[in-house]
Every structure is written in C-alpha cells, then in structure tokens.
Amino acid sequence: MCVADSFEPKAQLKVAISNDPLEGTITNTLAGFQTIGVPVTVYNDTQIINGELITDDITVLVISRKAVLSSVSAAWVSAVRAFVQNGGSILGEYD
C-alpha cells in the first residue's frame, strides 16, 4: 500500500527462479534482482515437481527462459499449476 511516499507490501516477498539449465543467462538475471534488493532462490525441476515452492512459502516464481533449449515435463507444468492454485504468482521472463 502506498501512503505518503512509502510502500508497505501486503505480504513478504519470497522469490524463486526456474530457468533452462542449458541457457547461460542465469547469472545476469540473478544480478538484476540483487540490484533491486530482491533475494532469489534457484529451484531445479525436481524441487518444483516435489512441491518445494509451496512448502518453502515462495510467493513468486520467475520462469526465465525455461523452454529455450529444453522442453518442460508434464509433471513440472502440473507442479507450477499447483503453486498458482495455492496462491503463488508467476513472472515470465524472456528478452
């Protein structure tokens, strides 16, 4: 909520990122978030499929260049859907 030049978020922001491991820009993406003061945790496909986004109370999943060089599995898609159904948000990124 913005009041008198201040901002108070409605909830704590916990950001995760899922990227294509064969695509080489993760360092730049993480540096961008660090520049704006947002810590980000990288999650691999297995962690996402196992529901760790939900159990770790992640609020936003950044999907960064995920299907550039590799396809995603149906299990990964189902886990991301479950994350959103559980109240999570997604930010898709591709230049």
Residue 64 pLDDT level (bands cut at 50, 70, 90): confident
DSSP secondary structure, the chain, as one string: -EETTEE--SS---EEEEE-TTSS-HHHHHHHHHHTT--EEE--HHHHHTTHHHHTT--EEEEESTTSSS---HHHHHHHHHHHHTT-EEEEE--
Q: Please compute the mean of the pLDDT values over residues 30-38 and round it to a whole number.
A: 89
Residue 16 pLDDT level (bands cut at 50, 70, 90): very high
- Look at residue 12 in the predicted model and tell me its pLDDT: 81
For the full predicted model, state whether its pTM sits above 0.85: no
